[in-house]
Every structure is written in C-alpha cells, then in structure tokens.
Chains A and B, each alone.
Chain A
Amino acid sequence: MATERSAVEARDVTKIFGHGPDAVRALDNVSIRIRENEFFTLLGPSGCGKTTLLRLIAGLELPTEGEILLEGERVGHLPPNRRLVNTVFQSYALFPHMTVRQNIAFGLEMRGVDRATIGPTVAEMLQLVQLSGYENRRPSQLSGGQQQRVALARALANHPKVLLLDEPLSALDLKLRQGMREELKNLQQKTGITFVFVTHDQEEALTMSDRIAVMDRGQIQQLGDPHEIYEQPVNRFVADFIGDTNFIRARVSSLSNGQARCRSGSGLEFDCSAIGSARAGGEVTLALRPEKIRLGKAERSAGAGKVVHATYVGTDTNYVVELGDASQLDVRVQNALDGHARFRVGDLVAIDVPAGAARMLVD
C-alpha cells in the first residue's frame, strides 16, 4: 500500500445500472487516486461515466463492485450525509423556499454547529463569493451566475475535505463562464480544498486543472497534467476529444532507440517517439496538431500540397491542404505578423512537420 494519503481513492470500481439486457455499465473497473489539495478534473463526453464517479464519491450512488476511500478510509457504508464531502450540483439545487443566508447555513445547521459560529461563517462565505448584501434574497431573485456562487458558498461553508463540482459552469453564458473559471481556480488555491471537477469542456479542463482524467465508455483513457494530456495523447480517443487533430496512417520506415521515422501515403515524413508495439515496416496511426505544422512557399517537391480552404478566425487562419494522395490536412497558422505567409485557395504550399510534432498512438 502506498504511503502517500490520497484525498479520494477509487479501487476497481464498477457501477452497473439496471438489470439483465437493459443493464448499463456506467463505470468499468475504474481505479483512481486524487491527491490532497489538487484541482482534479474528470473530462469526457456525456455518458462516459464521469458524473457517476462523482456521485459515487458523494455517496449518492453505491458502487456495484469495488470501493471508494476518502482520506484512506473506506466509506462504502456511509450515506451522503455522513461523508465530509460537498457537491456543487449542475442545476445548483438551491432550496427555493430559503433565503441565500438560510441556504448557506443549511449544512452547518444540519451538522449542529452552534448559532454563534454559523452567522460569521455565512458572512465570510458571502464575502468569499462576493455576494455580501444578498443574504435575504431568494434564489429566484438571483441571476444564474449569482446562484452559482451561492451554490459554491453553500458547499464551501462546511469546509469539506473534498468539493465535488458537477459541470457547474455549463449553465452560464460564455463571458461569465470564463470569469468563473479563474474564480474557481483562485478559490481552490485560497481554500486548499481538494476539488474534483466534472466537465465535458476540454478548455475548462485544460485551463483549471492540476491533473485531468479523460474518461470514455466507463473507463479512464488517460490521466495526466494538462500539458501531457494535450501534447502526449495516448490513444485516438484522447487525441480526438482534446483539441483538433489530424490522424495520419503511416508506415514505419526505420526504428532506433525508441525513435521512429514514418512515411505517410502522401509522402510526408514524420520523426516521432515510438510506442512499444511499433515495428519497422508496420502501419501506425499518428496524431498531428494543426498548429504544429508549418507551411512554406511551394516548390514542386514531395510533401507539397494545395490549399483548398482558408478560414480567417482572427488570431489564426485555418487551412485545409490537399496532399498528393488526395488526403487532407488541417493546418492552423497564427496571424502573428501582418501579411506574413498568407496563402490563398489554390496556392501550392510546402509542408514542414518538425521532429517530435507528430505522436504515435495506440490503436
């Protein structure tokens, strides 16, 4: 057993909903360790099991198999009201018949904290989420962003060991959402509470998290910090789900010291680190981010292509380049300097892929 204590640990957790032929395997043998004081994100498309895992940690669902540990203690037998974990629900789930103050004080009251402590704690929480002066409002008298803050304050007032956040930003409009991202990150650093954040928004995950677990079909596909997840996706799902990616079939032409040189059907050459299963002469899938490709003035040589689409998006221009074998490549070029390297539809371009830009995937 590891000596480092995890804030949350899931051991071989499987969750099956329903019976017989209708049974759905929401989580399939998931093991995970979330460190203390970490901003940990569960990222995946809807139905990947991320919310189920969150609900298992909260105690709102019980695992079919396996166990959940909070600070090293098994909590399988504890109902949600006995776990020192609080949740910010996607719908906020504020009590409509109570004022902001009563909502925030609810958890403290239920735990039997004396009145003399509740008052100052509520005031402190309102200050933390910048809602002082809103004590006597009802949730229905607040905007979406304000409700969101009340939900946060209500959960944080209990000083939980772990705060669970179930897509808390998804109901907000874009501007608010971006503001709340920073606020959430700041709150986490200020309070030192372990945050477990569920989202399907990769940008949210990349900007806020210390570590991310990418989930799909009830399993964790990859676990790592945002940089690893983006730069070194382990499989096609992760590469596809996070950011934009070109998938290229290529043949390994040489292999040495874990470095591979691959050649695609269109004649492009790629230098990348090899994965264990790669064999010289074998076919592999490469992932290549559009922004890592450089375009240059065309010479009639191998590895050149023709621009078939150009979309100007302000900071960047997105090109679609058709290669010799009729396959297409997405390329993103930053519009850093005025007039620099602008191409038009129909232009012939040279394609330069720096060594290490492509990544070999496990199929």
Chain B
Amino acid sequence: MSQSAGISLELADAGRAGATEILAEQEKLLRRRRWLLLSPALVAIGVFGIFPLFIIVIYSFLTPGEYAGVNWTFSTDAYVQFLFERDIFDEATLIFNSDYLEIYLRSFLLAVYSTVAALIFGFPAAYFMATRPPETRNLWVFLFTLPFWTNLLIRTYSMLIIIRDEGIVNMVLLWLGVIDRPLVILYTDFAVALGLLYSYLPFMVLPIYASLEKVDFRLVEAGYDLYASRFRVLRRIIVPLAKPGIVAGCILVFIPALGAFITPMLLGGGKNLMIGNLISLQFGGSRNWPFGSAAALILMAFVMIALMFYVRTTTRERRHLHG
C-alpha cells in the first residue's frame, strides 16, 4: 500500500518536472518570438539612429580635415570653439565669444515663439474640428492637412512671395491706405517665426485634435450646469483633458522648429543664423565637420535636458496628486 503510494508520488514528481521543462521551453520560444518581432524596429533604430549618432560623437572629438572630412587626431577644440575664440597671436589664450550662444538663444526664442503661436492658432482649429459632427470631421482634417502635402520648400517660397515688400500683404495694406511705405517683414526674425508657425502648425493641431476628439462633451455640459462660465469650462475642463495632446503638440513643434534650416535660410535671408543653418554651414562652406558635430550634440543635449525637466515636473505633479 505505502509502496504503491510512493511510486505514484514519484511518478507525479516526474510528471511535474516534465511540465516545468515544457513550460520553460515555451517561455524560451515566446521570448525568441518577442525579439524576432522587435528586431526590425531595433535594426532601424540601430542603423539609422544610434550608429550615425555614434559617428557624430566621434567626429566632434576630431580636428577638421583640409578639404572637408576629418583628421583622426583627438581634440576638444570643437567644444572649446563653441564658447571661446583663440587669440590670433597666442594660440593658448582663450577669449570668451558669445556669438554661438546667441545663435542658440535666438533659435530657442524663435522656437518658443512659434510653438506658442502654433498653440494659440492651433487649439481653436483643433477644437473646431473636434466639435463638428463625426461624419464631417474627417473632411475637416483632410482640408486642414491638404496644403501640407505640398513640399516644404515650395510652401516656404510662397510665404516669401506673400510677405515680401511687393507682396500681397503689403499691396493690400498700401491700397487700403493703412500704411504708406511697405512693411519690412521678409528677412526678419518675425518672418522666420511666421514661417515656422506655418510649417509646423499641423504637428500642433493633429495631436490636440486627437485628444479633444476623445473628450466627453457631456462633461462640458456638467461644467455649465455647475455654474462655470465658458472661459472656466475651457480652463478647468477642456484644457486639462486635452493636455496630453497639447504637450505632444508643443514637443512636436518645438523640437523641429529649434533645428529648422530651410525656413530661416529663405525667410531670414541668412542674416541671422539659426542652429540649423549654423550646423549646415559647418558641413558646407566652413568645412568644419567636428564643430558641426559638436553643435548638433550640444543642441541635442539642450533638448534632452528640457524634456527631462518636463518629465520630472509632470511625474512629480502626478505623484503629488496621488499622495
């Protein structure tokens, strides 16, 4: 009796071991499949993202070659050059030079202006589209994105034609007698901000539209019912609920605007450089690839710090709410 019980126990043990083995095998298979599914994305990120970035990091620590390219000698000159100028007579003396910092600051401000403007213009547009009847919403989205199917260069040129001294804006204003001399709009920072706003507006509108579309507008009625004015309904209910879209839109406009290159070149007239122009110049005319690489990395560092700061504040806010 006890013997047979012992045998059956043994058998059960063997069975259990077999089961765990099979489970482990399955687990392994699953893990392999997971990696297989991930691999296209990983390869793309590796080949087109991380590897070039790696090259840029290396180049930024080399010295410029005579005819473009790099010489394989280690140097931190590219980073030093960002803040200092070497004395012409004494290579060892460094003189503080804020030119490049100013370019970064100007780019930063222009990107902020165009992001804020995109938010001011984009939010009502997104709100309008999201509050249309569902069957017409897609039509509005289509109409809104239609101009952006055109090449960016062509759209920027058309902007140039509109705002130049003899452009439509000035012609109309002169004809109406509002002004008696053409306004100088083209080749100013304003023109650049305007161009950036126009170029990146859809990146603001579409994410906000996507989050507004999900908002339950019965909440708006509840807000009115609870004595909130229109403005307070907007501020206390609609904006907080659309916040993910607003944040995504701001990031999507701010980052490309910061590194924009075509718009400031055409509409800024190349007078006031932006980061994008500075970098392109280093790889082109100036033939200083290490400095161009360093400038790009510094820009990246700024953006990352800004994003980390943002993430830190929002998570703290959330933790605060839950605590």
Contacts and interface: CB of A to CB of B under 8 A. Distances in A.
Interface of A: 58-60, 79-82, 85-87, 89, 91, 93-97, 99, 106-107, 110-111, 136, 154-155, 158
A336 B219 CA distance: 50
A155 B221 CA distance: 13
B226 A89 contact: no
A59 B222 CA distance: 11
Nearest to B219: A93
A60 B221 CA distance: 7
A106 B226 contact: yes
A95 B222 contact: yes
Contact of B219 (A58, A60, A95, A155): A95
Given A81-B228, A110-B232, A96 B241 contact: yes
Contacts, number: 58
A85 B321 CA distance: 31
24 contacts: A59-B224, A60-B221, A80-B221, A81-B225, A81-B227, A81-B228, A85-B225, A86-B226, A87-B225, A89-B222, A91-B216, A91-B218, A93-B218, A93-B221, A93-B222, A96-B219, A97-B241, A99-B321, A106-B226, A106-B236, A107-B226, A110-B229, A110-B232, A158-B226
Which of under 10, 10 to 19, 20 to 34, or 35 or more describes the interface residues of B? 10 to 19
Interface string B210-224: 000000101101111
A99 B224 CA distance: 19
Contacts of B284: none
Given A91-B216, A110-B232, A97 B225 contact: no
Contacts of B216: 91, 93
B281 interface: no
B229 A81 contact: yes
Contacts of A96: 219, 241
A347 B307 CA distance: 84
Contact of B226 (A59, A60, A99, A154): A154
B220 to A, nearest CB: 9
A61 B236 CA distance: 22
Contacts of B171: none
B245 to A, nearest CB: 13
Contact of B225 (A60, A94, A136): A60
Contact of B227 (A60, A95, A158): A158
Contacts of B229: 81, 110
Nearest to B243: A97
A86 B225 contact: yes
Given A96-B241, A110-B228, 20 more contacts: A58-B225, A60-B224, A60-B225, A80-B225, A81-B226, A82-B227, A87-B222, A87-B225, A91-B218, A93-B216, A95-B219, A95-B222, A97-B240, A106-B223, A106-B226, A110-B227, A110-B229, A110-B232, A154-B226, A158-B226
Contacts of A154: 226
B237 interface: yes
A79 B224 contact: yes
Given A96-B241, A97-B241, A110-B232, A81 B219 contact: no
Given A89-B218, A110-B232, A95 B237 contact: yes
A158 B241 CA distance: 24
